[in-house]
Structure 1
């Protein structure tokens, strides 16, 4: 361990991303241990959803139906990982368009003991008992970031298990080669190495791993692996005295900074008004609101419509003008505008064009998008036998990709199949790895034929475009999604190909353009 205790300055920087806490017994405890790898990752994804959206362990039923398979919902209920709460007029869930006067009737799922494990963002009076178990930190983008996102569910869980091993044994991110072989099989280790999740170090007399019977005089020669950026994410145990000193100094500096900020805020508030008496009263009122009624960890900029959250008292404001009064009255009469369609309509539209082809006709259309040249050669009677054989091999390989993709979505892994693997590497042993990599990429979307498929593709393209602009800081109005969907559906009816629309939407995304009318104008300019 002494040979690897030093870390570069860049690796010592603190990771500022949000995270969830994953207890070290997550993989084997009585509640989550019997779950399959895909079910475990699905449950982790639900915890990440609650952390990102600050719902304190409450997941809307519409979102659950959209992202969690039915058999996993039944497994979570049987294992006690959550419980369903009905949404009624007397007890509305207050999520999405649900209000006290008009309940949505869909209900929510409440995750088991979320408040005992994770950080809460609502100011409830009764705090649950603190969970004293050791844990590792898992960033909320773990399932989809560039390094771990392409990994299979089994590889993701193996990586989590390696982090848990390092925390339990206090190795600070160092895993002996023998332990790595015991936790992860060969193909998983190769995938982690390719993704850059760790790097291997040889065990020599100059740099011994010092695990087990390994010493500087008699190195074990097995080597060890160092987890990528472990010291930036997890707790370090190599120097507890230094950690305590850092925590003490950080607490002192934080207290001094908070006191200085309190004095600075008081002086700024006192100078806001011209009346000295009124200014001092307003400053005292605002200081009490800021520093007495806001619990630690609450973000005033993020709204939370859950029950029991007290409304923050505001200072008196000047009387509004007649124009603003009439405008507020009209808005209160209209009420919140519901998003078009809702999740139920989206589910029905997505079912009209699933990713895995449900019929032979849809399968032929997907193959035509994957290998158009091979389909054209096979349809040409004048092509020679060699070209026919090459085209048939490409078509068989594409069919194997569809089968592997269906297996990957259903089980989270792809079983080794020598017959199918030879289609990807006839003379080597990397066919399974190539087929696994191909199964992790979504299949191309075939051109829509039926009205349901046209409407489904228009809905998806409009949803992805507006959501992407909103994530990048755009201010799209509530009607932008429906306007874009209607425009895309009309363009599909006019015969515009989906590739042209996707390329134009990508160009509009780079410019931050969300208006549906601009799409037709840009297409007209491109044609002329």
Structure 2
């Protein structure tokens, strides 16, 4: 799996289709079980599927098949208000697992920011988002072209990160001079260890632009450079606003 692929994944062993209790399922039941795992992974329900969702997506006959495909360990069991996937936590990441990984990422980002803060003055960027040195940053970004960042190897995942950005969000961003939200997403991922979606990238960009001493000439390079030079402040905003995925 590419490290630049930010989609969520569910895990299935190679012998999953030939497992005795799976091999005998109808095509509809097999598809329903896979979709149930993907649903739970996406919505972090730890293997629980609400009854209304399950019945609408797969119907009673398929659900009955998945509840009876093994005498002791059927693929689905009825739970309060829905159905639960058997042994889900043994194979998939749970909500607790995700929170633990996010906390590790948060601490890692804090450690990086602290290391930068303690670095010798000659190695430490002097610019901070929204402080008195913003004008110096603007003078630097005014010399950059808008094309210098999105296609740069400095943000190699910018094009991949653009996938799935809706037209409305892209249009709102473009009106503010943020012509490539994918580049903002990649910059946050690279320098702050935070994963954003398009909406979060737009909110972060507007926050950075709003703190500038005056309107930057080239908005996108200004935002990208601000993220790179002020990761601690950017991380604080992302965590405070709960916009990280």
Higher relative contact order (CA 8 A, sep 6+): 2
TM-score range (shorter-chain normalised) is: 0.3 to 0.5
TM-score with structure 2 setting the length: 0.38
TM-score with structure 1 setting the length: 0.18
Higher helix share: 2
